[in-house]
Amino acid sequence: MRHIHLDDVKQQLNIELGYTGDDRYILNLIEAAEDAVSKHLNMDFSKCFVDENEIPTSIKQQIKILIATWYNNREGVGSGHELPLSYGYLAGLNRNYDDDSFYAIKNRVE
């Protein structure tokens, strides 16, 4: 469930609301950014907030800033340096720090 509206993100990105050429891409960024921020904050937005009006403005802004960073920097590397909040950042959010890997747990025979 998306908690940030497409029109709000378009305003953040200074994109005309009537322009729809990047809508699908922006919607994917919204989902990815919401997932990343919820993991970073260690909270499930679907359980914590019934609707988007309950999400604190600071969290909404975090999501929109992350979307803008990704929208304006579509590659993980720029000018020879890894961009912040790119591949390494996302990989860290999803990394399993437990002793058992996901693969081992999934394939464990009881």
**Per-residue pLDDT tens over the stretch 8-24:** 999 999 999 999 999 99
Residue 42 Cα to chain centre, angstroms: 13
Q: Looking at residues 22-28, what average pLDDT do you find?
A: 97
The confidence score (pLDDT) of residue 76 equals: 65
In the prediction, which pLDDT does 10 show?
A: 96
Compute the average pLDDT of residues 41-59: 80
User: Mean pLDDT, to the nearest integer, of 32-50?
Assistant: 84
- Alpha helices by DSSP H, the chain: 6-12, 23-41, 45-48, 57-72, 87-94, 102-106
**Residues 63, 37: contact at Cβ < 8 Å?**
yes
What are the extents of the domains in the chain?
6-106
Smallest CA-to-CA distance from 37 within 67, 14, 10 is with 67
**32 pLDDT higher than 80:** yes
Q: How far is CA 18 from CA 10, 80, 109, in A?
A: 10, 35, 54
The average pLDDT across 31-49 equals: 85
